[in-house]
Chains A and B, each alone.
Chain A
Amino acid sequence: MSVAPFVVLACGNPSRGDDAIGPALLARLATWLDEEGLADAFELIEDFQFQIEHALDLKDRCAALFIDAGEHTPAPFALCPVDAHAPPSHSTHAISPAAVLAVYHRVVKAPVPTCDTLCVCGESFELGDGLSPAAAAYIEAAWPALQSWCREAVCAGTENEKA
């Protein structure tokens, strides 16, 4: 069974304040991809945290994007390539996108897709809280960048097919 060429993985717990940033952006993205007729080209994966098995979700993809909330990270957001050579963190209950990529590299032994991280700054992560006003504003700021990433991924994929 063939997989969609692009995958967007978002993580976070919707019941813990700004940890809902990832799921909120993913839900919005699903609607937009449908409207744009791009839904078949993307697989959207939501989880509470990034984990080792997500390495398998990168297999046979052209590009992948990890979306997560950040604490003490640049506001409103940072969109940058995943550094596959970054030292793996000592994980608590999650692993970083770089560690997912490292697991992929060691376990799957196949060409690594282009991987980026969209890290949107959050401020409050308490149980039962909704999104903070700041996080809501940061999501609005990040949304055009997310749309652009998807459009560019599709264009790059189309050009590769032509080549």
Chain B
Amino acid sequence: MSYHLETAEHPERLRRVAIDPVSRVEGHGKVTLLFDEANKVQQVRLHIVEFRGFEKFIQGRPYWEVPVMVQRLCGICPVSHHLAASKAMDHIVGARRLTPTAEKIRRLMHYGQILQSHALHFFHLCSPDLLFGFDSEVGKRNIVGVAEKHPETARRGVLIRKFGQEAIRITAGKRIHGTGAIPGGVNKSLSVAERDLLLKDAYQIVGWCRDAVHLARELHETDPALYNSFGIFRSHTMSLVGPDGAMDLYDGRLRARDDQGGIYFDNVAQADYAKLIQEEVKPWSYMKFPYFRALGNEQGWYKVGPLARVQNCDSIPTPLADAERREFIDYAGGTPMHAALGYHWTRMIEMLHAAETIKDLLHDPDLLGGDLMVTGPRGSEGVGMIEAPRGTLIHHYQVDENDLVTMCNLIVSTTHNNQAMNEAIRHVARRYLYGREVTEGLLNHVEVAIRAYDPCLSCATHALGKMPLTVELRDPDGTLVHSLSRN
């Protein structure tokens, strides 16, 4: 299957522009644009180097090692992988229902992860674009520029993220390579001192998160023509929801809506995900393209993540975030918002929900309990699903009688959004690049559309000295005509 601008008829006759790697997203990606002689864009593709074999890497490992090993999938959301793997392995050890203490400790860890990840993304990866403009001076369009012009915004971003990291450190045992969640439960609860350490800042964090929602909303209201249409892509949406239809980022059953907001499927058990979702391989990308089986690969793509979740649920179970959700729904005017920049507003609503949830959990005495583990009849297969910061994260394992993993399948949030991101940048290319000379500011529009999805490209490697961004323009025969670098 090919979509408009996915594959040009005669790519050999076109001029090639590569944005390599995409800056200010997690990991590395590349955008290629093919232009004809009249500077009209004919093909746009987002290429992502995905896990590079992590599923094979896990095979042959003892199942109890997996929740720790998978944290190395990603340097920015290791906790999501840690918890999804732990949830999958709960089925292996027969832990059908965790103790209240174990589940609440895991929830505290997870909402800490949501908080810190969303804070990093909004305040430091995207706010330079949103506060200065997509075409602003590139030298200022970074976190240091934000700190200089909007010092309080930058300071709050750092402190909100730090608070989330502290929640992770306290529940997981340390900042990274944590072992807090284990198959069947957790290995520690909170001490009174640890609880009080978080509690003293929790109310301030809630207040700052609420301010951040208002900042995101004001940005929309200031320029609705841009925010309501930029990178728009109508599609289905999917997320977990709780048993009452409320937002639940830690657990629940799958729900999907169509592009008009009607329920497409609901109340689907996590273990049945493979009955609903199929992954398509395209020859030009390492990353697969998932779609709903019943709709096929022409109609079945969908979005996940904050924009999907906030519109997929019936309510949010914390009062301030739910009030903001209703404001967002009202703003959208009764039909779902599909514009890419809507992710920022909804991401901030989720950040507020995470802060409220953490604050509420800290008042729950179960966090201090000592009943940490359960076991039951041994299983051989487990699916663990969680709503990670970027969307639905699926871990699926089979384990043999020697406790070794024999099969591992991972579908990460960024993979769910693969088609959506490609369509978003095609929309932007049509609107902003068609028939025009390519400039850094215009290319940044493409990147802004990608960054809205907060893609995590799973490359937890980084090294000093790597070139952050190179843009190459090539003739149809591949000859380099012009090169731009942001370094």
| Residues in A lying within 8 Å of B, measured CB to CB | 11-19, 45-49, 51-53, 55-56, 68-73, 87-96, 99, 102-103, 106-107, 117, 119, 122, 125-128
Contacts and interface: CB of A to CB of B under 8 A. Distances in A.
Nearest to A125: B461
A91 B158 contact: no
Given A92-B468, A99-B143, A127-B52, A49 B57 contact: no
A16 B72 contact: yes
Contacts of B333: none
Contact of A107 (B147, B457, B487): B147
B460 interface: yes
Given A48-B76, A99-B144, A92 B158 contact: no
A72 B487 CA distance: 15
16 contacts: A13-B460, A18-B463, A48-B78, A48-B176, A52-B124, A52-B157, A53-B158, A56-B162, A69-B463, A71-B465, A92-B27, A93-B75, A107-B154, A107-B155, A117-B464, A125-B463
Contact of A91 (B24, B52, B162, B457): B24
Interface string B52-85: 1110010000000000010010011010000000
B176 A47 contact: yes
Given A93-B25, A106-B148, A69 B464 contact: yes
Given A52-B124, A52-B158, A106-B151, A92 B23 contact: yes
B190 interface: no
Contacts of B53: 127-128
B142 A90 contact: yes
Nearest to B174: A46
Given A95-B143, A103-B154, 11 more contacts: A11-B462, A15-B72, A15-B460, A47-B175, A56-B159, A70-B464, A88-B143, A90-B469, A92-B25, A106-B151, A125-B463
B143 A126 contact: no
* Residue among B148, B177, B461 with max Cβ neighbours from chain A (10 Å): B461
B120 interface: yes
A13 B120 contact: no
Nearest to B75: A48
Contact of B23 (A17, A53, A90, A125): A90
B158 A71 contact: no
B54 A94 contact: no
A102 B154 CA distance: 12
A16 B460 CA distance: 8
Contacts of A55: 158
A106 B464 contact: no
Contacts of A95: 143
Nearest to B447: A90
* Residue among A18, A69, A102, A103 with max Cβ neighbours from chain B (10 Å): A103
A128 B155 contact: no
B465 to A, nearest CB: 4
A19 B147 contact: no
Contacts of A71: 463-466
Contact of A46 (B28, B176, B463, B486): B176
Contact of A94 (B75, B141, B144): B75
A58 to B, nearest CB: 12
A38 B192 CA distance: 30
Given A13-B72, A52-B158, A102 B464 contact: no
B139 interface: yes
* Residue among A53, A103, A117 with max Cβ neighbours from chain B (10 Å): A53
B398 interface: no
Contacts of A53: 116, 158, 161-162, 165
Given A46-B176, A71-B466, A127-B53, A103 B23 contact: no
Contacts of A15: 57, 69, 72, 460
A95 B158 CA distance: 13
Contacts of A12: 461
A82 to B, nearest CB: 11
B26 interface: yes
Contacts of B26: 92-93
* Residue among B52, B116, B462 with max Cβ neighbours from chain A (10 Å): B462
Nearest to A19: B461
Contacts of A102: 144, 147
B249 to A, nearest CB: 22
B277 to A, nearest CB: 25
B261 interface: no
A18 B464 CA distance: 12
A87 B143 CA distance: 11
B245 interface: no
Nearest to A53: B162
Contacts of A106: 144, 147-148, 151, 154
B194 to A, nearest CB: 14
A88 B461 contact: no
Contacts of A68: 462-464
Nearest to B466: A71
* Residue among A72, A94, A117 with max Cβ neighbours from chain B (10 Å): A94
B173 interface: no
A130 B53 CA distance: 15
A16 B461 contact: yes
A90 B461 contact: no
A50 B230 CA distance: 32
Contacts of B468: 89-92
